[in-house]
Amino acid sequence: MFSNSVIARSVRILSSSDRKKIIAVVAIQISFGLLDLAGVALVGILGALAITGVQARGPGDRVSIVLQFLHLDDNTLQSQAIIIGLLAATLLISKTIFSVIFIRKTIFFLSRRSAAISANLTSRVLAQPLVKVQSRSMQQTLYAVTSGVNSIAMGVLATTVVIISDTSLLVILAAGLFIVDPIVALSTFIVFAAIAYILYRLMQVRAIRLGEEQRFLEIESSEKILEVLNSYREIIVRNRRSFYSRELGRIRYKLADVIAERAFMPNISKYVIEITVVLGSLAIAALQFAVNDAARAFAVIAVFMAASTRISPAILRLQQGAVSIKSSIGSAGPTLDLIEELEELSLGSEKVDDLNFEHVGFTGEIELQNVTLTYPTKKLPAVKDISLNIKQGQVVSFVGPSGAGKTTIIDVILGVLKPDSGNVQIQGHPPLGAIKLWPGAIGYVPQDVMISNGTIRQNVCLGYSSSEIDEKDIWQALEVAQLAEFIRELPEGLDTPVGDRGTKLSGGQRQRLGIARAMFTKPKLLVLDEATSSLDGTTEASISEAVHNLKGGVTIVMIAHRLSTVKESDVIHYLAKGQLEMSGTFDELRRNIPEFDKQAQLMGM
C-alpha cells in the first residue's frame, strides 16, 4: 500500500540510536491501544447496565464478571453506572492525552533530526569538487537541503509512525469487537478498509503528481525571483518588468492551485468516512434489534458507537497518511538520491574555531606536476600537462587570452577542482590537506566577491564568529584594502549594514571588502583572481603597491588582464588553449610572445 522503498530509504538515513528511539515510541503508542479497548468495553457495559436497569433485570454473564472483577457487584445500579462511566471516560481521555504528548515528542524529535540531516547534507555537498556542486542548479540544491529533508522527516517518517500506531489500534479494537460480535466486527472492518483502500487508490497517483508539481514550481518560482533581482538593471533598460510580473504570476497561480488541491484532498476522505459511520451505525442498529433482545442489542450498539469514535479517525489518518507519503515522494525522492549519492563521501575534520593566524611552518610553496583537467561537458582539456613551481615569497602571475585555463589553474591550486591526472602540492601536501593543517594560511579574492546581507564586520570575518575577533585584526585588513578611511567616516563604523549582496556599497568598495576578507587571516599565500578588476586606476595602483609590499613574506599568485598589475611579478606564466606557452619576466614574455607584446602596446606600455 505504501511506497516501501521511500519509507525504508528514509529510515536508513537515521542513526541506529535514532531508529531505536522511534521503535520505542511506536511500541508505547501501540500499548496505548489497550486503553482504548478497555474504555470501549466499559462503554458497552455502561449501555448494558442502562438497558437492564430500565427493564428491571439483572446484568448478563459477561457484565457480571466485569462487575465482580471491579468489586462493584454489590453496589447499586446508579453507583455502578457512575463508576463505570468515570472509568471509561478516564481511560479514553488518558489515552488521547498520552497519544498527543507522544506524537508531539515524536514530531519535535524528527523535526530536530531533519535539522541535523540538513546540516550533514550541506557539509557533504560542500565536500564535493566544484564541478559536482555546479552540476545542480542552486535552487535544486537549496530545495534538497531544506524542503526535501523536511518532507523526509515529517512527510514520510512522522507519518509512518502515525500509520503504524493507528494500524495497531485498529487491530486491537478489531480483536475486542470480534469477541462481542464477530459478524458485525468483520463486516464493519471490511467496509471501512474497502472504502479507505478505494480512496487511496483513487488519490495516490494524483498525490504523487501534485507533490512533484509543487517541487518543480517552487524551484522555478525561486529561480525566476533570483533571475529578476540579479538582472534588475538589464530588465529596467529593456523595459521588461511587466514580462517578469506576468511570468512570476503565472507560476505562482499554478503553484497556488497545486497547494490548494493538496490541502483539499484530505477533506474528501473525511466526508466519505463520516457518511460511512452514519450509514454503518444505522445498519448495525437495525441488524441488532432484528436478531437480538433489546439489552443485547443496546450493549452491542453502545460498544460499536464508542469504537467508531476511535476507528473512523484512525482509518481517516491511515488513508490520509498513505496519501501524504505518496505526495511527499516528489520532494523526498530527489533528496534521498542526493543523500545516498554523498553517503560514502568522507567529511574529515575541520578546525572550525581556530583563531591562531600565525601559520607556523607554512611558507606557501606550490608545485604542479603534469596537471591535466577536462571538464565533464567538454571534449578538450581545460589545462593540459602543466608543470611549474612557485617558491616562497614570490609574486607569480598567470596571463593569456580568455578561455586559456587561468581560472582552472587557480581552482586546481585551491583544491576546489581535482585534476584528472598529475599532482598538486602546497607545502608538500594536497591543497585541501594544507588548508586543514593551516586554516587561514591561504587567502583568496575572486573576481566577483560574494557579499552577505550583514555588516562590514561580519563580511570581513566571513566564516568566523565576529564577536570573538579582535577589532585590530579587522582594521589591519581594511588598511591593506584601502577601505579603512571610508569606514571610519561611517556613523556605525564596522557595524554598518552593507545590504543584500552589498547593494549599499559601490562595485569598487565591494571588491576591496573582498580583499580585506582575504587579508583578515594574515595569509602566507594570497590568490587573486582578477581581484582589482572593479577598481579605478588610482585605487588599483594603491592596492597593487600594498600587495607587492607583501612580497617576500607572502607568496602571491594572481590572474589579471591589466598588464600593469602583473608587470612587477617575479614570474609570469603565459597560457594559451590550456597549455603553458612560456614562463618568464614581463620583458621576456614581450620579446617571445607576439600576442602578449601586442596587448602591452595596446595598453600603452
23 and 66 part of one domain: yes
Type and span of the H or E element at 198: helix 182-230
CATH number at residue 390: 3.40.50.300
3-state SS assignment for residue 426 = strand
In a domain, 217, yes or no: yes
251 and 336 part of one domain: yes
In a domain, 357, yes or no: no
Is 440 buried (19+), middle (13-18) or exposed (0-12) by CB count in 10 A?
A: buried
In a domain, 55, yes or no: yes
In a domain, 411, yes or no: yes
Select from 482, 503, 522 the last residue of a domain. Answer: 522
DSSP β-ladder status, 555-559 and 442-445: unpaired
- Cα distance between residue 296 and residue 275, in whole Å: 26
CA distances to 266, 275, 450 from 500, in Å: 40, 54, 10
Select from 522, 543, 570 the last residue of a domain. Answer: 522
33 and 127 part of one domain: yes
Return the bridge partners of 576, or none: 579
**Alpha-carbon dihedral 182, 188, 191, 193, rounded to 10 degrees:** -90
In a domain, 349, yes or no: no
- Cα distance between residue 512 and residue 529, in whole Å: 13
The position carrying cell 593569456 is 400
Q: Which domain holds residue 448?
A: 443-522
426 and 565 part of one domain: yes
In a domain, 542, yes or no: no
435 and 561 part of one domain: yes
- Cα distance between residue 327 and residue 339, in whole Å: 19
- Cell digits of residue 235: 530588465
Return the bridge partners of 429, or none: 426
- Cell digits of residue 12: 536508513
120-152 residues labelled b (16+ CB within 10 A) or e (exposed): bbeebbeebeeeeeeebeebbbbbbbebbbbbb
601 and 455 part of one domain: no
432 and 470 part of one domain: no
- Cα distance between residue 179 and residue 185, in whole Å: 9
91 and 116 part of one domain: yes
46 and 119 part of one domain: yes
Taken as a whole, the chain contains a residue count of: 605
- Cα distance between residue 480 and residue 531, in whole Å: 13
> Chunked in runs of 10, what are the mean pLDDT values of the chain (605 residues)?
69 86 87 83 72 56 70 74 84 86 87 86 80 77 83 86 86 79 75 77 78 83 77 67 81 87 76 74 72 66 73 79 77 82 67 68 90 89 92 90 89 90 92 88 85 86 79 88 88 86 81 87 88 67 71 84 82 91 90 86 75
Contact 430, 424 (CB under 8 A): yes
CA distances to 202, 205, 211, 218, 258 from 324, in Å: 13, 11, 9, 18, 14
- Cell digits of residue 537: 586606476
Residue 445 φ/ψ region, left for φ over 0, alpha for ψ in the -120 to 50 degree band, beta for the rest: beta
The position carrying cell 497518511 is 321
15 and 78 part of one domain: yes
Domain count, the chain: 3
In a domain, 500, yes or no: yes
Return the bridge partners of 524, or none: none
230 and 252 part of one domain: yes
CATH number at residue 239: 1.20.1560.10
Is 367 buried (19+), middle (13-18) or exposed (0-12) by CB count in 10 A?
A: middle
pLDDT of residue 2: 45
In a domain, 347, yes or no: no
Select from 501, 522, 543 the last residue of a domain. Answer: 522
222 and 189 part of one domain: yes
